[in-house]
């Protein structure tokens, strides 16, 4: 879901498209899943308040070896992979999550309070669906995704939540890619599942 009247939570702004012309764009168009860089900068000092934040878990998703997909198959095929990942996020995230494209081959998903275990299940479903998927017309082209997971804790800012998800994402990549990792408040990443 893109930003709309039902999302009045400060953290939901993180994954909204700011342009009024795009605010009600159909989610099936992957180009509208772009996170504006300045939104993160604007929210840098915004504190998330206990009892007000409904979207508590953050998944940061990176398509593994995306540059080599573009180099080998061309940007049109790379765009198809990005569209497919956006579709997977929409299918698995259901109506309760808020998804956005951070840029390039990175995406983020804010999830409601299902706890780390519930978010990890969703992350593994996303990861598994990416690994099982193909690009139409190219059945031999496979792609995987690495996912970092963080959970809101009292005192978090948007920046600290993103930072922990990023630390976890890079731990998943260092762990061999096609993995899910979580980073807690101590910033120590651990593989999940």
Specify which residues 62 forms β-bridges with.
106, 146
Specify the pLDDT at position 188: 87
Average pLDDT over residues 133-150: 93
Does residue 105 carry a catalytic annotation? yes
| Interacting residues of 171 by C-beta distance below 8 A, sequence separation 6+ | 148, 181, 183, 189, 190, 191
Q: How many residues are present in the chain? A: 193
pLDDT in tens, 83-129: 999 889 888 865 667 777 888 899 988 887 778 899 999 999 999 99
Specify the pLDDT at position 148: 98
Place of tokens 């508590």: 56
- Select which of 105, 106, 151, 188 is catalytic: 105
User: How many Å apart are CA 152 and CA 166, to the nearest integer?
Assistant: 14
pTM of the model: 0.76
Domains and CATH numbers, the chain: 22-191 (3.30.70.270)
């Amino acid at each position: 879901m893109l930003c709309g009247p039902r999302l009045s939570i400060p953290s939901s702004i993180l994954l909204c498209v700011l342009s009024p012309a795009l605010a009600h764009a159909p989610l099936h168009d992957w180009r509208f899943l772009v996170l504006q860089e300045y939104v993160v900068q604007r929210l840098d000092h915004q504190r998330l308040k206990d009892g007000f934040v409904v979207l508590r878990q953050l998944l940061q998703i990176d398509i593994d070896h995306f540059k080599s997909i573009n180099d080998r198959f061309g940007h049109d095929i790379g765009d198809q992979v990005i569209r497919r990942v956006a579709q997977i996020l929409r299918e698995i995230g259901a109506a309760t999550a808020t998804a956005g494209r951070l840029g390039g081959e990175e995406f983020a998903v804010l999830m409601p309070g299902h706890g780390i275990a519930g978010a990890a299940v969703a992350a593994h479903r996303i990861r598994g669906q990416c690994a099982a998927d193909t690009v139409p017309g190219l059945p031999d082209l496979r792609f995987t995704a690495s996912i970092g997971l963080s959970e809101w804790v009292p005192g978090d800012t948007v920046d600290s939540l993103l930072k922990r998800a990023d630390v976890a994402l890079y731990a998943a990549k260092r762990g061999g890619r096609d993995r899910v990792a979580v980073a807690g408040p101590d910033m120590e990443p651990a593989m999940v599942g």
